[in-house]
Amino acid sequence: MKGLLPKAIVILVLVAGLSGCTQAFQDIQNGGPAGDPGSNYETYLTGQRKLVVELDHSPGSNWDTSTSVDEDVRQQLQRITNKNVEVRTSADLPAKGSEYAWSNSELRELHSQHRDVETNDRQVAMHALFLQGKYQQESTGGLAYQAEAFALFMDRIEELTCSNGAIVCDRAERYEVVRSISIHEAGHLFGLVNSPLPMVNPHEDPDHEAHSSNEDSVMFWKVESGKAISDLFSRDTIPYTFDSDDMADAREQRSGSS
């Protein structure tokens, strides 16, 4: 027993130091029968099948189709996968209210009940859910939680882009946050940054599993980490593109499978 104590302390210290996206990402790793985030990376990054992104949102979830987030997401996913990408939007998710806290099991159930697009011999599917309310871990703005699914918590994002409870929030800033987190979560489904897609060159942040150390990459850990993303508001734009290391990892996967 004495020999095990130091190891146990190290584990507790590491867990206590995790926050936001990194902790949520680890909490959700058991994706259930539908698989863990990143487990379908070979399907997403290889072959010629079209990628269809089903983007569902709740009525009143602050989703605004005029922001063209769907087109930005389409372009970046096409760039990293080298596939034709189609985004389909609908407003058929339940409205739960701004204070509702979503659990892992509820997110899995939503994916099962509301997805209309499935992977087959002609296409590969991805399901994005833009929800009213927040995640059970309140600091999280977005979360990849199954092999084909990720969620954004729009009321948490609203809080991040409203200063001191302002009545009028910065819509342009909210657009940037939604765009960046959406592409970031898709990156987790692609297995980027060593999770489990192998890296050509090391670029994983040593303190934030499955996240880039490059602040110019959309996979940078601050992009989805609750309050930490506000540190990026002073930049000309919040990172929303995959960097050269992300692209190299995806290309290596394609070349190795051909």
User: What pLDDT, on the 0 to 100 scale, is given for residue 129?
Assistant: 95
CA gap 161, 154 in Å, rounded:
11
User: What pLDDT, on the 0 to 100 scale, is given for residue 163?
Assistant: 58
User: What pLDDT, on the 0 to 100 scale, is given for residue 239?
Assistant: 93
Write down the residue that tokens 């934030």 correspond to. 208
Sign of CA dihedral 141, 35, 201, 45: negative
User: What pLDDT, on the 0 to 100 scale, is given for residue 222?
Assistant: 87
pLDDT tens per residue across span 34-70: 689 999 999 999 999 999 999 999 876 666 554 578 8
**Topology of domain 29-257, per CATH?**
Collagenase (Catalytic Domain) (3.40.390)
Amino acid at 39: S
Among the residues of the chain, which ranges form H helices?
5-16, 20-27, 41-45, 69-81, 104-114, 154-160, 171-189, 244-257
Specify whether the CB–CB gap between 222 and 215 falls below 8 A. yes
Which regions of the chain are under pLDDT 70?
1-34, 60-67, 163-170, 225-228, 230, 257-258
Domain ranges of the chain: 29-257
CA gap 233, 237 in Å, rounded:
7
Share of the chain above pLDDT 70, in %: 77
User: What pLDDT, on the 0 to 100 scale, is given for residue 68?
Assistant: 72
User: What pLDDT, on the 0 to 100 scale, is given for residue 70?
Assistant: 87
